[in-house]
Structures are given as structure tokens and as C-alpha cells.
Structure 1
Amino acid sequence: MGSGGIYLSKLYRFCEWITRLAYVNILWIIFSFAGLILFGLSPATVAMFALIRKWVQGETDLPVFKTFWKTYKDEFVKSNLFGGALLVVGLVLFFDLRFFQSGTTMFSLVMSYVAIFLLFIFLITLLFAYPVFVHYNLSIFQIIKNSFFLGISNPLQLFFMIIGVAAVYVVMMYIPGLIPFFGGSLIAYIFMWSAFQSFVKLENDYITAKKGNLETDDIS
């Protein structure tokens, strides 16, 4: 294949990815509104992350709508409970911060810093929450716990997520017309790709540790 053919092949793959991300973003918006936002946002987000996870794993020939719809239905209840738990925790931490910031005592000042720290921990957990939800079959508490530990133990992936979100935000502010097509899916792809590197590293470390234990048992 000549240089022109390689260029056209790369251009085709780029356009294909652009189309995929735009399509799944539109589905995310439609199904979020189908659940009146309150009951549709979390299931639609789970469906979007589940689909993007398959793409990250190399399964790019899946039927997009069918896969999205199946995940949306199957995870509707659990994803709403999960999203509700995250919403409650986030609101409690936010209002606690506002409450302590309104105080004038030393105790209020100290508690304000505690609330800021807890909000920071919550945001780290939130970045990994939906990737963990779709990658592992865990309870809601286990998802939140593992999201936290993955976040603090993988600073490079966490940094990439934050930089990715900032970059998407800047682009969307300059070109707001892109928001309906890439506002959610592009961020979801960045999160899922970054988190997937953490999952692979974790699973490889587990295999290595298990192999080491077996070799130690053989020697003993």
C-alpha cells in the first residue's frame, strides 16, 4: 500500500471513530431524557461506558444501538441506585462545605478544610466510578471503594483524566456546537481508556504476585 493508501486508511478510521463517538453521545442524550434525566442519566451513562469499554478492548464491530439498549435495560435499577448514592454523597459533602464556610470559628475553618479534602477524594472516586461499574461485577459499595483505591494508586491515569477533561472543556467552550455530539462520549472515552490501563496493570500485578506465590510454594 502506498503512502496515499495509508493516509486514506487512517482518515477512514478517524472518521469512523468520530461517527461512533457522535452516535453514542446522541444515544446517551436521548436515553437520559427518556428516563426524565433523574432516572435516565445514570443508566445511559453506564450503557455509554459499557459500549466504549468494548471499543477500548478492540471489539469495534458491535451493533451500537442493540448493545447500548441492552445495557440500559439490564442495568437500569442498579445504575440508578449507584447514581443516587453518588448524588447523595456529593450533595452532603457540598452542603457540609458551604455550611462550614459560613462559620467564623476556628472549628468551622478546620472543618471547611476537612470538607474540601473529602470532596477532593470524592471527585477522584467519581472519575473511576463508571469505568469500574462496567468492568467488574461488584456491589455498589465495592464499586465506590475500588474506584477510590484505583484513583489514589494510579496518579498517572488520574492526571491524564483531569488533563483530558480540561482539554475537552476548552474545546467545547470555543466550539459549543460540538457538545451534542461529543460532550459526553469524548470524556467517557478518555475516562474508560485511562481506567482500562489501570485495570490491566492491576490484573497483571495480581497474576505476577500469584505466580510468585506458587513458585515460593514449590520451593518450600
Structure 2
Amino acid sequence: MTGVYGRLNVIFEMLAKLALLNLLWLVCTLAGGILFGLFPAAAALHEVLARLFRKEEVQIGKAFKNAAVKNFKKANASGYLFTCVLFILYVDYHFFHSFGNIGALVLSYFSLLLFVILFTAFLVLFPLQVRYEGSLLNSLKNSFRITLGYPGLSLLILIGFVLIGTAMFYIPGLMPFYLISGPSYFCHFVCTRKFKKIETSMEG
């Protein structure tokens, strides 16, 4: 199928796969008791997305399960490391913001800036780990290098998440199908394009 109908068919097929991935993410998260399933489910989602982007023939359910099991330890380790630091920065922001002096306000907004940078690095981490499968330490270092070294990418990810979140807010019927898979697809798409450009520049 070619032309407009062919493109529409590709779009609707991807939308159906994203809806399935969203469901699998929820099932995997609940199966892990939320605490131990949340981050492996996110890692599995990105791994399946990577294979779909490469136009591989994928049995989505089986691939998702295998990826969640494979990434269980690494995903939970990185996920809770980021979560702890993000929580500390969140508390710091509100603590400093409760004071009225200028110095405390400066510290509060500095904490907020660090929070945003760390959150963006966390978003970059999942597609990065899937693409390169390095050690956890290298993945963490590279996620920060990319986040800080390519502010345009970081800004694009944040803007995209805000726009997608706004769309979900005004069209809540989208949430059961694309609440997690939608933003993940966008993040994986823009990160993969940037990774390819970085690889090309390094080869040149």
C-alpha cells in the first residue's frame, strides 16, 4: 500500500502498537508490585520501541517480557538512584523557598534548575541504555553529558512532554492508551535522531 493510504496505515499501525505497549507497561508495573516493576517496564518499553524504529519484526508481548526481565536490576538501580536525588532536590527547593531572603530564593531556584537537568538526564537515560547497552556508570555519565552538552535536545524533550501532557489533560480519553507510551515514543524518537547525528559527527 503506497501514497496517502499507505502512510495512514503506518500511522494507525504504530498507534495500535503504542496502545499495546501502554497496556504492557501497566501490567508489568503492577506485576512488579509497582515499586519493582515501574522502571523495568519503562526500560522494556524503550527496548521494544528501539526495535520498532529499526523496523524489526517483533512479537511485542514476548519482547516486552524478555526486556523487562533482562533490565530488571539495572533499571531499578538507575531508577531509584535518580528518584532519591530528585526527591532531595524537590525537598531542597521547598525548604529554601520557605525563607523570604534573596539568598534562599537563589538556592531554591538553583535546586529547581538541578531538578530539571536531572529529570531530563533520566529521560535520556532509557533510550541511551537501550542503544548502547554499556555499564550503568557509563550510561549515567553519558546521559548527563548529552543533557548538558546538547541543551537544544533537552529543551525539545521538555517542551514535547509539556505539549503531550497538555493534550492528555484536555483529551483524557487518550490516557488509557498513550499516557506512558506517547511521551516515551517522542523521547525515544528525538534522542535516537540525536544519537545518530553524534555518531555521524564522530565518524567524520
Aligned length: 204
Distance 1:110 1:10, change over 3 A: closer
Residue in 1 aligned with 2:157? 161
- Write the deviation string for residues 21-56 of structure 1: whole angstroms up to 9, x where unpaired: 101110001111111111100000000011111122
Q: Which amino acid aligns with 1:18?
A: L
**What residue ranges of structure 2 are gaps of 5+ in the alignment?**
none
From 36, 40, 50, the equivalent of 2:47 is 50
Distance 1:58 1:155, change over 3 A: farther
Deviation, 1:106, is 4.5
Query: Contact 1:132/1:147 (CA < 8 Å) preserved in 2?
Result: yes
Distance 1:153 1:57, change over 3 A: farther
> Is 1:173 matched up with 2:169?
yes
From 15, 18, 21, the equivalent of 1:18 is 15
From 192, 198, 205, the equivalent of 2:194 is 198
Task: Give the Cα separation in 2 of the matches to 1:48 and 1:147.
Answer: 18
Residue in 2 aligned with 1:147? 143
Distance 1:105 1:35, change over 3 A: same
Q: RMSD of the alignment, in Å?
A: 1.8
From 80, 95, 98, the equivalent of 1:84 is 80
Task: Give the Cα separation in 2 of the matches to 1:184 and 1:150.
Answer: 23
Residue in 1 aligned with 2:91? 95
Distance 1:166 1:106, change over 3 A: closer
- TM-score when normalising by structure 1: 0.85
Percent identity (aligned): 30
**What residue ranges of structure 1 are gaps of 5+ in the alignment?**
209-220
Q: Which has the larger radius of gyration?
A: 1
Q: Which amino acid aligns with 2:113?
A: F
Task: Give the Cα separation in 2 of the matches to 1:82 and 1:154.
Answer: 21
